[in-house]
Amino acid sequence: MEGKTLYRKIVDSHTVLRVDEQHVALYADLHIMNEYTSPQAFAGLAEKKLPVRCPEKQMGIVDHVIPTHPVARDARTIMIDAAAQQAANFTRNCRKHGIHLFDVQDREQGIEHVVAPEIGLIRPGMVVLCGDSHTTTYGALGALGFGIGTSEVEHVLATQTLIYRVAKDMRIRVDGKLAAGVSAKDLVLYIIARIGAQGARGYAVEYGGSAIEALSAEARMTLCNMTVEAGARGALIAPDETSVRYVAERIRDMPGEAIAAASEQWRALKSDADAVFDIEHRFDATDVAPYVTWGTSPDQAIPVGGRIPALPGAPVEQANVAKALNYMGLDAGAAIDGLAVDHVFIGSCTNARIEDLREVAAVVRGRKVAAGVRAMVVPGSGRVREQAEREGLAAALIAAGFEWRQPGCSMCLAMNDDVLKPGQRCASTTNRNFEGRQGRGARTHLMSPAMAAAAALAGRIVDVRKEYRHEQA
Ligand SMILES: CC(C)[C@H](C(=O)O)[C@@H](O)C(=O)O
Ligand code: SF4
């Protein structure tokens, strides 16, 4: 029998029932919920008079709709009626079912995918589900995470399992060394640009290679988080010293000896040497430059020194690209370097962890945000915010002219009151540049934290490596 991939090992060890050729009932070690995708699921349970099967294996967190204004935490009143209702409803549901909730006022509240790993809930080999596509983040720690739909949220609440169609296996190997000033965000934008926004559709991706091994745990989260933008159904990096240490340092509910014993098992979790992948891609890290998106899909990205591609020949493709360019107010063949921005947003579950904020602070320290540019930093969690304050990063950011906000999703998807105006152009560390994502008619350029910091200072998109030399964090 041929060897197994890490993905198959995790799926097999969580399969409680084989439904048919393609489907299994998959057990979830942890299920995370937000206020936005859980209401119908709770309503469904209530209607069917079903209890939550394993309340202790659920976690709730308010992140999508909450305001992030720079006020005291207990002053975070939600002013948008529908959002306030959503949050209140969520609190009620979690209380009713005995589910641990990180509420608006909680010191550790933040974006679900930032909070869960940082408080030690995500461990190698786990299956983690959440009604949110960026649950793929947890692959950074060797856990299989992926997003589920609202009706599936109800099923997981009732049974702690999911009817799951098993994915195919893809391996992406990246060898070589990322250059100074080039980060995991640039790498993932590069990979998505190369394989396309549907390039990993139907696949669970396992990353490997020397460039991946060299990434910090947080940088791996950036990579796995955004892999879903290539359509992937999961992203995994085999646990190693980096990820095992990250996890072991954060676990709160296991004694030291148990963590040591578990760590041994975690280190052994990997694809067999003779495991067969359905498809394999190889990339060279030295080919990666700071990447910036020019269009309305995350794969429409180019190196900062590059030019927006010429219009494609095929009519359908041509119409799509023309539409994206029209929305973005850009021309085929134009340069992206030098493009003026109105707004800079540093945040989201892709890039609002402490290492990201260190990168930003290293670029902006002692400098000023360009006149006319509004720049904000929304830390990923209460803990990130506190740590950034302790390390003096917040002070440097504020001195440079950034708004220093409370944690949440904020302008990543503009579901709270952080919304851009039509036509405004934003340099953003987020993960989606879809039409209207940051406000109706708003134009989003995805990039790394260092690049967004440089854009804030210059008032235009620039190559951070040329314009603002900084100490690598
Ligand atoms: C709101 C939620 C369903 C959505 C997701 O699944 O990713 C959001 O977090 C996003 O980033 O678009
Ligand atoms: S930060 Fe953005 S991508 Fe992440 S969960 Fe929130 S809205 Fe989705």
Tens of pLDDT along 344-362?
999 999 999 999 999 999 9
User: Is the pTM for the entire model greater than 0.90?
Assistant: yes
Kindly give the residue spans of alpha helices, DSSP state H, lying in 196-255: 210-213, 217-227, 241-250
Confidence of residue 220 (pLDDT cuts 50, 70, 90): very high
Q: How far apart are CA 469 and CA 239, in angstroms?
A: 33
Whether ipTM tops 0.95, in short, is yes
Hey, do 7-167+241-265 and 292-467 end up sharing a CATH topology, with the first three levels equal? Answer: yes
Q: Which ligand is nearest to the CA of 112?
A: 2
Per-residue pLDDT, 378: 98
| Residue 382, pLDDT above cutoff 60 | yes
| Residue 78, pLDDT above cutoff 90 | no
Give the number of the atom of ligand 2 that is nearest the alpha carbon of residue 415. 7
Give the number of the atom of ligand 2 that is nearest the alpha carbon of residue 413. 7
The string over 314-340, giving b where at least 16 C-beta atoms fall within 10 Å of a residue's C-beta and e elsewhere, is eeeeeebbeebbebbebeeeebbbebe
State mean pLDDT over 129-142.
Answer: 98
Per-residue pLDDT, 17: 97
Give the number of the atom of ligand 2 that is nearest the alpha carbon of residue 347. 1
| Among 243, 55, 275, 62, residue whose Cα is nearest residue 156 | 55
Domain-by-domain residue ranges, the chain?
Answer: 7-167+241-265, 169-240+271-287, 292-467
State mean pLDDT over 97-107.
Answer: 94
- Rounded mean pLDDT of the chain? 96
SS3 at position 59:
strand
| Residue 219, pLDDT above cutoff 60 | yes
Q: Whose CA is nearest to atom 9 of ligand 1?
A: 132
| Residue 127, pLDDT above cutoff 70 | yes
| Residue 299, pLDDT above cutoff 60 | yes
64 C-beta closer than 6 A to ligand 1: yes
What distance in angstroms lies between residue 114's CA and the mean position of ligand 2's atoms?
10
State mean pLDDT over 125-145.
Answer: 98
- pLDDT for 422-450, tens place per residue? 999 999 999 999 999 999 999 999 999 99
The string over 381-402, giving b where at least 16 C-beta atoms fall within 10 Å of a residue's C-beta and e elsewhere, is bbbbbebbeeeebbebbeebbb
Per-residue pLDDT, 6: 98
Using most ligand atoms within 8 A of CB, pick from 129, 148, 413 the residue to mutate for ligand 1.
413
- In terms of Cβ atoms closer than 10 Å to its own Cβ (0-12, 13-18, 19+), residue 374 is middle
Q: Which fold has domain 292-467?
A: Aconitase; domain 3 (3.30.499)
State mean pLDDT over 126-134.
Answer: 98
| Among 232, 295, 290, 226, residue whose Cα is nearest residue 433 | 295
| Residue 473, pLDDT above cutoff 50 | no
Binding residue positions for [4Fe-4S] cluster: 349, 409, 412
36 C-beta closer than 6 A to ligand 1: yes
Q: Which ligand is nearest to the CA of 348?
A: 2
What distance in angstroms lies between residue 98's CA and the mean position of ligand 2's atoms?
25
| Residue 471, pLDDT above cutoff 60 | no
| Residue 117, pLDDT above cutoff 60 | yes
Evaluate the CA torsion angle 426, 427, 431, 435 in order and state its sign: positive
| Domain 7-167+241-265 is found in CATH 3.30.499.10 | yes
Rounded to 5 degrees, φ, ψ at 114 are -90, -40
| Among 141, 134, 359, 135, residue whose Cα is nearest residue 246 | 141
146 C-beta closer than 6 A to ligand 1: no
Q: Whose CA is nearest to atom 4 of ligand 2?
A: 349
Q: Which ligand is nearest to the CA of 418?
A: 2
37 C-beta closer than 6 A to ligand 1: yes
Rounded to 5 degrees, φ, ψ at 196 are 95, 160
Using most ligand atoms within 8 A of CB, pick from 32, 228, 409 the residue to mutate for ligand 2.
409
What distance in angstroms lies between residue 412's CA and the mean position of ligand 1's atoms?
9
What distance in angstroms lies between residue 334's CA and the mean position of ligand 2's atoms?
30
| Among 441, 402, 449, residue whose Cα is nearest residue 424 | 441
- pLDDT for 391-430, tens place per residue? 999 999 999 999 999 999 999 999 999 999 999 999 999 9
- pLDDT for 14-33, tens place per residue? 999 999 999 999 999 999 99
State mean pLDDT over 332-343.
Answer: 98
| Residue 305, pLDDT above cutoff 90 | yes
Fill in the amino acid letter for 399: A
Give the percent of the chain with pLDDT over 70: 99
Lowest-confidence pick of 132-136, 214-218, 231-235, 464-468: 464-468
The domain 169-240+271-287 is placed in CATH, from the list 1.10.10.10, 3.50.50.60, 3.40.50.1000, 3.40.1060.10, at 3.40.1060.10
The vertex-197 CA angle with 188 and 136, nearest 5°, equals 55
Per-residue pLDDT, 139: 98
Please identify which residue in the block is written with the tokens 């030098």: 338
